[in-house]
Amino acid sequence: MSEDQPAPFIPPHVEDETSVAPIGRVFGTREYFRLWIAQAVSSIGDWIGFLAILSIVSRISDSAAAVSLVMLARVVPGFFLATIGGVLIDRVDRRKVMVFCDLGRAGLLALLPFVETVLGLVLISLGMEILTLLWGPAKDASVPNLVNKEHLTSVNTMTLIATFGSIPVATILFSSFAALASFLGDFDALSGLDLDQEALALYVDAISFLVCAAIVWRLPIPHGHTTQKKRLPWSPSAGDDSSSGGRQSRPLRRVDWLQTVHEIQEGLKFIAGHPRVRGVILGLAVGLVGAGAMVPLGPVFAREGLGGDSATFGVLMTALGLGAAVGVIALLTFQRRLPRETVFEFAVMGTGLFLILGVAFSSLGPSAFAIAFVGACAGTSYVTGFTTLQERVHDELRGRTFATLYTVIRLCLFLSLVMSPLFADLFEWIVEQVADNPSVRIGDSKYTFAGSRLALWGGGLLTLIGGLWARHSVIRAERRAAEAT
């Protein structure tokens, strides 16, 4: 959208009427601040529910393939339903869509503690993901209705904070639910709820979505395909009311099933001729495949490799989230003193190296410490990689480049979440064929070559190789540039 044609349907003088410092400076308006609170609560709930589902599927099934099926239910809908969801959002009341999705997710989460089959987990995960795919676009499309255009940049930044900043909060909460569930389980009045860590997490998650629905219901969000009666003077539709009482239809988007293919074709033509850009995209992609494997394999590794339970997995995820937060903060502090591309390359390599080291330990403390460095390196590579692309790619090619990057990220996320558990089962089978006992004695300790550990080693090695390849691409590009001059 060009700067001389701002987003339409923004309420006039919203900032003067509703914003107060410091909310007005950061969030633009009180209305968006309330929507941001709803998003933050929803995001924390999403992550808590995600961790609880992983813990449940790991408990009721010894196969990593079961984890893969649940991950498949969370990833696949995005490939097929995202565009359809966008069209639906343009045709219906967005506020009602968000409230319906929040209520639906709360209901599904309340059922989860009573599910004891992998099929049930897959079906509920599928329903959760479909509702999330509707909630997200409805929220994004509603933001211009709540703030003026000069605040869009800052509110988009706050959106990222709500999305990624909720990860360490959710992991800490999930870890603390084990002790809280044990305490509440002593009360006879709560015995019927069969409280454990996963059940308590899911009940709290359901309540968070109910709170989110209550917040959204009170927001002044107009109907998805109509304007407000008052328009800003610079709005494209100002002074052009239709004969139907000032209502004006917005053109409905068509579903383009080949959009992803077109984005890849356009972006790859540019990326193929630019080693620096190619190195950054490859580094981000393989880093996601390697480090992302910790999410589906984490519960299995916590049980098989560390001899723990769901609380152990929660500690690992807390370490990962806190490490990412510390890494990004450190980067923001020292970014002016460090070469960004070099930091990116070594951050990708560090992600793989610390992942290999973290899953090599058989005790929780050293493993969590190394996993925290995985989070720090992964967060640093994410920020520096995106910033490098924004600086290196010209404006007229930036959209296609990022479209290709997002497509690659979706594909790599699919590979990481779905394929890594299958590789874990494959490695488990190979170890059983080669050795009768997958464990060896090292002193007084028993070391187990579990399939989850071997798969995570493979992911770490892949990430390390990707970082080395990115470094090689940059060095080769610098040499060619020097020879050309």
**pLDDT tens, position by position, 213-226:** 999 898 887 764 44
State the burial class of residue 444 (Cβ atoms within 10 Å of its Cβ: 0-12, 13-18, 19+): exposed
Confidence of residue 100 (pLDDT cuts 50, 70, 90): very high
Q: Is 466:285 a contact under the CB 8 Å cutoff?
A: yes
pLDDT higher than threshold 50 for residue 14: no
Smallest Cα–Cα separation from 302: which of 358, 365, 355, 364? 364
Confidence of residue 246 (pLDDT cuts 50, 70, 90): very low
pLDDT per position as a tens digit, 125-184: 888 888 887 887 787 777 777 777 666 556 655 766 676 667 778 877 877 776 676 666
End-to-end CA distance of the chain: 39
Work out the average pLDDT over 297-326: 81
Single-letter code of the amino acid located at 285: A
Work out the average pLDDT over 414-422: 78
Domains of the chain: 18-229 (1.20.1250.20), 256-438+448-485 (1.20.1250.20)
Confidence of residue 357 (pLDDT cuts 50, 70, 90): very high
pLDDT of residue 241: 41
CA distance 68 to 118: 11
Confidence of residue 6 (pLDDT cuts 50, 70, 90): very low
Cα distances (angstroms) measured from residue 289 to each of 1, 316, 464? 33, 18, 11
Confidence of residue 193 (pLDDT cuts 50, 70, 90): low
CA distance 99 to 306: 41
Work out the average pLDDT over 93-101: 88
pLDDT per position as a tens digit, 393-416: 765 566 566 656 666 776 777 778
> Which residue bears the tokens 């790991």?
58
CA distance 64 to 424: 7
pLDDT of residue 139: 79
pLDDT of residue 213: 92
Cα distances (angstroms) measured from residue 248 to each of 9, 221, 226, 240, 243? 11, 16, 6, 9, 9
What is the maximal distance between C-alpha atoms in the chain?
A: 86
CA distance 366 to 33: 40
Smallest Cα–Cα separation from 320: which of 294, 344, 342? 294
Give percent of the chain above pLDDT 70: 67
pLDDT of residue 210: 93
The interaxial angle of helices 451-484 and 420-434, nearest 10 deg, is 120
Higher pLDDT, 405 or 276: 276
CA distance 261 to 8: 30
pLDDT higher than threshold 70 for residue 422: yes
